[in-house]
């Protein structure tokens, strides 16, 4: 428990070490999460997703700087970053290179950056990302940005974890806009056209706006000033209008548009709080976490009761088409249930 | 520490179990262990201190370590010793690899080691590669470097050394 206590008192080495324990799911990590949980729930969790190369890490770098400068009343905001990169499914190794873009944050004691490998999880985050974020939250970081792996269209995990999700697009990465856009509106609270300095940014922005127009035809979407739609929504909260994701242009290399983007993120936070949506998202997030943990625990319980040989023999019968996949599952469940209760690990 | 290893192995197998089933079925093999590498995830920071832009070696080594199953944090060029120590702390790495081809190693390396110690990370192992004259190797080892590697070193040797050093430390 002493690691967790040291984390609460602001010890950064203890924090780093605890994050490792939590990431590895060790008993000490789990116990620390139990201890720290009452201290969580204060941070604004921000997700940053989008295809590799769109500039997510560069944006995180700039946004972190912006949040450090934008005071919250009299107090400053402490910022944490969790950057997730993929693990190789073959070797389990990973090359975590997001820090390369975050060198401006070095030397600022109010910023903490942690790289994470996805370790086989497929939704754009690692299995332990939510827990890592909880520790950072308890450690007193006011803003926690989570950069996802950024592959595919299935990055819904981040929208479940974050209060505000940014979907980053950039021109010049193959303009198969339709394909990559499926599902974006379900997860985006703010759409970012990064690399606005590059040719094609207008096209990228136009197609995003066209998509929004289709999704929000009757919501009075005005189409030109991205921030305004959010502002208006926030200003008129008594009627609880839907939040229309603003489309914002940025250049992460020279920070243009970043201050506005940081403001829009904070506005979105205010909107969520004023409409009760913040609590609703929290509820959904914790429910998801509970269900995920339950699933993993059941899985572990089952697995501890199955011998490799039994598993393999069922698999062989399945491959020989002696039994169907459903029958195979039924058989394997029997094994697991029989021995499961005895050596229950979780 | 050993029980942690067992747990990681255990948790890891949960996922690899399924990956395995998939590959083995595809490859008509039925062994659960073939693609399965139970191990603690070794975390290594690879950094290039100083002002030179020779990053090939650092990248080659970073990739080799990744391919050996390690989690490698790469920080890029032109890192000050302070930046390196800060990253090593936040990332809670087991080892730090410094790649230096500028000739400034005698100033940079001891400074990194000093900062690691000051931060309470005296158990983090430091490896150095690049253009390091023979005569500089003993004083670097004296300063706390585990090993020094010159041009032409097979990356498999770097990988093995780091693996052994880190796992030795954990098991002990
Ligand atoms: C390629 C090269 C370049 C390329 C670099 C491209 C790049 N992005 O990396 C370019 C053309 C840009 C270049 C420029 C210069 N270079 Co140059 N360059 C070389 C050269 C020929 C090969 C280096 C290389 O990439 N090797 C391949 C890699 C894989 O090998 P490696 O880095 O040694 O890494 C291996 C090991 O050392 C070890 N290792 C390395 N790092 C690490 C880290 C860890 C943790 C571990 C475990 C192991 C490890 O493992 C690797 C695999 O075996 C060397 C000569 C030589 N034979 O080394 C000169 C050399 C390094 N360059 C030199 C010089 C002087 C320069 C310039 C200053 C020249 C000039 N006057 O403009 C500029 C500086 C540019 C700059 N911005 O810094 C000198 C350095 C002299 C010194 N230190 O005393 C060298 C030694 C040439 C010489 N004999 O004079 N260079
Ligand atoms: N021209 C331009 N390049 C950018 C911009 N933002 C990022 N980049 C570059 O795009 C590349 C990928 O950036 P990175 O932040 O690593 O993207 P990520 O993979 O989404 O995290 C890097 O070479 C950046 O320097 C931008 O606004 N304009
Ligand atoms: Mg990135």
Query: CA A316: distance to chain centroid?
Result: 39
CATH number at residue A121: 3.40.50.300
8 A C-beta contact, residue A229 and residue A271: no
Edge-to-edge strand list for the sheet holding A190-193: A111-117, A79-85, A143-147, A44-49, A164-169, A190-193, A247-249
Q: Are residues A67 and A197 in the same domain?
A: yes
**CB within 8 Å: A312 and B32:** yes
Give CATH for domain B43-167.
3.40.50.280
| Structure token digits, residue B89 | 């702390």
Q: Are residues A196 and A340 in the same domain?
A: no
Of B11, B70, B119, the CB nearest to A25: B11
How many separate domains does chain A show?
2
* ipTM, two decimals: 0.85
User: Quick one: CA torsion of A17, A22, A24, A25, rounded to 10 degrees?
Assistant: 140
Average pLDDT over residues A297-326: 91
Is B56 in CB contact (< 8 Å) with chain A? no
Show the ligand 2 pocket: residues with CB < 6 angstroms: A 52-58, 101, 150, 194-195, 197-198, 251-253
**CB within 8 Å: A16 and B91:** yes
What does the pLDDT read at residue B20?
A: 38
Residue A254 has pLDDT above 70, yes or no: yes
Name chain A contacts of B63, Cβ cutoff 8 Å: 95
Residue A222: count other Cβ atoms within 10 Å of its Cβ: 11
Residue of chain A whose Cα is closest to the Cα of B80: A106
CA distance A19 to B104: 34
pLDDT in tens, A7-24: 999 999 999 999 999 999
Strand partners, A82: A114, A146
Residue A232 has pLDDT above 80, yes or no: no
Residue B128 has pLDDT above 90, yes or no: yes
CA distance A99 to A106: 10
Average pLDDT over residues A193-220: 86
| Residue percentage of chain A with pLDDT more than 90 | 68
Provide the domain limits for residue A339.
Answer: 306-345
Query: CA B89: distance to chain centroid?
Result: 14
Average pLDDT over residues B48-55: 94
Nearest to A47 by CA among A192, A193, A127, A163: A163
DSSP E strand boundaries for chain B:
43-47, 71-74, 95-100, 125-130, 145-149
Calculate how far, in angstroms, residue A85's C-alpha sits from the geometric centre of ligand 3: 7
Q: Which residue has the tokens 């950094």?
A: B47
**CB within 8 Å: B91 and A312:** no
DSSP 8-state symbol, B172: -
Calculate how far, in angstroms, residue B77's C-alpha sits from the geometric centre of ligand 1: 13
Of B7, B66, B92, the CB nearest to A20: B92
pLDDT in tens, A100-147: 999 999 999 999 999 999 998 888 899 899 999 999 999 999 999 999
What does the pLDDT read at residue A336?
A: 67
- Could you say which of A216, A248, A273 is where a domain stops? A273
Domain assignments of chain B as residue spans, ordered by start: 1-39, 43-167
What does the mean pLDDT of chain A come to?
87
Nearest to B39 by CA among B65, B74, B73, B61: B65
8 A C-beta contact, residue A277 and residue A271: yes
In a 3-state reduction of DSSP, which class is residue A33?
helix
Q: What distance in Å separates residue A253's CA from the closest CA in chain B?
A: 16
Ligand 1 atom 64, closest CA: B102
Q: Are residues A112 and A242 in the same domain?
A: yes
| Residue percentage of chain A with pLDDT more than 70 | 86
Is A88 in CB contact (< 8 Å) with chain B? yes
CA distance B27 to B30: 9
Calculate how far, in angstroms, residue A75's C-alpha sits from the geometric centre of ligand 2: 31
Q: Are residues A50 and A153 in the same domain?
A: yes
Q: Are residues A137 and A185 in the same domain?
A: yes
Counted across chains A and B, CB pairs separated by less than 8 A come out at 119
CA distances (Å), origin A278, targets A85, A94, A134, A275, B51: 28, 34, 16, 8, 47
Average pLDDT over residues A176-194: 76
8 A C-beta contact, residue B106 and residue B136: yes
Residue A278 belongs to some domain of the structure: no
**CB within 8 Å: B119 and A345:** no
**Cβ-Cβ contacts under 8 Å for A62 (sequence gap 6 or more):** A104, A250, A252, A255, A258
Of B30, B35, B68, the CB nearest to A93: B68
pLDDT in tens, A63-102: 999 999 998 888 999 999 999 999 999 999 999 999 999 9
Q: Are residues A268 and A311 in the same domain?
A: no
* Ligand 2 atom with least separation from CA of A252: 27
pLDDT in tens, B1-31: 444 444 444 444 434 433 433 333 333 333 3
Residue B166 has pLDDT above 60, yes or no: yes
In a 3-state reduction of DSSP, which class is residue B141?
helix
Report which of residues A240 and A331 the model is more confident about: A331
What does the pLDDT read at residue B9?
A: 42
Nearest to A244 by CA among A252, A234, A254, A257: A234
Burial class (CB in 10 A: 0-12, 13-18, 19+), B153: middle
Ligand 2 binding pocket mutation candidate from A50, A64, A101, A171 (most atoms within 8 A of CB): A101
Q: Are residues A224 and A340 in the same domain?
A: no
């Amino acid at each position: 428990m002493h690691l967790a206590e040291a984390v609460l008192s602001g010890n950064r080495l203890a924090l780093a070490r605890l994050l490792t324990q939590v990431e590895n799911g060790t008993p000490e990590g789990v116990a620390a999460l139990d201890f720290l949980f009452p201290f969580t729930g204060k941070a604004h969790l921000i997700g940053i997703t989008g295809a590799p190369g769109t500039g997510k890490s560069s944006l995180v770098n700039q946004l972190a700087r912006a949040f450090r400068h934008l005071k919250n009343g009299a107090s400053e905001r402490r910022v944490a970053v969790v950057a997730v990169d993929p693990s190789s499914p073959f070797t389990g190794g990973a090359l975590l290179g997001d820090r390369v873009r975050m060198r401006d944050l070095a030397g600022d004691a109010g910023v903490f950056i942690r790289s994470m490998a996805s370790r086989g999880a497929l939704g754009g985050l690692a299995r332990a990302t939510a827990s890592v974020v909880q520790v950072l939250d308890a450690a007193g970081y006011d803003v926690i940005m989570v950069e996802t792996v950024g592959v595919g269209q299935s990055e819904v995990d981040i929208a479940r974890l974050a209060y505000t999700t940014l979907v980053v697009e950039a021109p010049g990465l193959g303009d198969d806009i339709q394909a990559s856009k499926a599902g974006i509106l379900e997860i985006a609270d703010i759409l970012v056209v990064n690399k606005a300095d590059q040719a094609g940014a207008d096209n990228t922005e136009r197609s995003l706006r066209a998509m929004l127009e289709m999704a929000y035809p009757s919501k009075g979407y005005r189409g030109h000033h991205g921030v305004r739609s959010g502002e208006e929504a926030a200003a008129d909260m008594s009627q609880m209008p839907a939040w229309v994701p603003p489309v914002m242009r940025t250049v992460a290399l020279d920070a243009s548009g970043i201050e506005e983007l940081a403001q829009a993120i904070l506005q979105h936070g205010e909107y969520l709080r004023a409409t009760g949506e913040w609590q609703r998202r929290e509820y959904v997030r914790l429910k998801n976490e509970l269900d995920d943990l339950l699933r993993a625990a059941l899985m572990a319980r089952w697995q501890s009761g199955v011998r490799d040989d039994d598993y393999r023999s069922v698999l062989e019968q399945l491959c020989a088409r002696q039994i169907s996949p459903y029958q195979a599952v039924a058989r394997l469940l029997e094994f697991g249930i029989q021995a499961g209760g005895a050596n229950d690990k979780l | 520490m050993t029980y942690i290893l067992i747990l990681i192995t255990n948790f890891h197998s949960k996922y690899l179990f399924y990956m395995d089933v998939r590959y083995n079925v595809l490859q008509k093999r039925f062994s659960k262990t073939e693609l399965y590498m139970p191990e603690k995830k070794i975390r290594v920071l690879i950094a290039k201190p100083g002002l030179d832009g020779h990053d090939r070696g650092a990248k080659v080594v970073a990739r080799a370590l990744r391919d050996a199953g390690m989690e490698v944090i790469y920080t890029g060029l032109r890192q000050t010793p302070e930046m390196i120590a800060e990253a090593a702390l936040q990332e809670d790495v087991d080892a730090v690899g410094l790649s230096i081809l500028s000739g400034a190693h005698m100033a940079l390396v001891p400074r990194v080691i000093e900062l690691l110690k000051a931060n309470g990370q005296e158990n983090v192992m430091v490896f150095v590669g690049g253009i390091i004259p023979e005569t500089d190797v003993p004083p670097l080892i004296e300063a706390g470097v585990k090993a020094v590697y010159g041009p032409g070193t097979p990356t498999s040797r770097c990988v093995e050394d780091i693996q052994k050093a880190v796992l030795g430390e954990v098991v002990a």
